[in-house]
Amino acid sequence: MKLICGLGNPGREYERHRHNIGFMVVEALLSRARAELNQEKFAAKVGQGTLAGERILFVEPQTFMNLSGRSVAEAARFYKIAPEDVLVIHDELDLPLGRLQLKAGGGSGGHNGLKSIVASLGSEAFIRLRFGIDKPEGPNARERVADYVLSNFDDGERRQLDELKDRAMDMTECWVREGLSVAMNRFNRKA
């Protein structure tokens, strides 16, 4: 069994925000896996399905981003899923919109959801699907990051989202079926 977690914030007011792209990709994956998030446990919405012939536990933490690790760690421990079999899908400021990248381990890059997962899981070895959302530019850009990630995609960005979510789903399915190195070699090229 593998665990696929999408990061985001719960509540209708957040659902279209850049920070919630992890939730958006997981919700798209549910149809491929013939699954639904039909349980609430581990302070998360969870559901099980099959992707590429493998049983998958889908997790959407409902703790808000900064405490996401609690849900991931509790679910992984309960189902005895190793960190290497955990995929976390998250927004990435350091990649332009349109760039998706798989990677194993590494730091949090200042992403509070990843910081929480590393702390709660006690490991950096989980897999990340970094979904580029770009970052604010110009004066005071660093101070505007929180407002930026908690804002909706603009019209031009929204037109690209379906294609990008499809690519993220293909990357995830390849990781499940063929492993990380194959998926990285196939998908981490610049678009």
Catalytic residues: 19
Count of all residues that appear for the chain in the document: 191
Question: Is residue 42 within 8 Å of 81, Cβ to Cβ?
Answer: no
Residue 14 labelled as part of a binding site: yes
Residue 140 labelled as part of a binding site: no
Residue 42 labelled as part of a binding site: no
Residue 38 labelled as part of a binding site: no
CA proximity to 102, closest of 127, 67, 71: 127
Cα–Cα–Cα angle for 178, 33, 186, rounded to 5 degrees: 30
Question: Is residue 76 within 8 Å of 3, Cβ to Cβ?
Answer: yes
CA proximity to 108, closest of 87, 88, 84, 124: 124
Determine the residue type at 185.
Answer: N
| CA atoms of 185 and 175, how far apart (whole Å) | 11
Which parts are annotated binding residues?
A: 14, 64, 66, 112
Annotated binding-site residues for tRNA read 14, 64, 66, 112
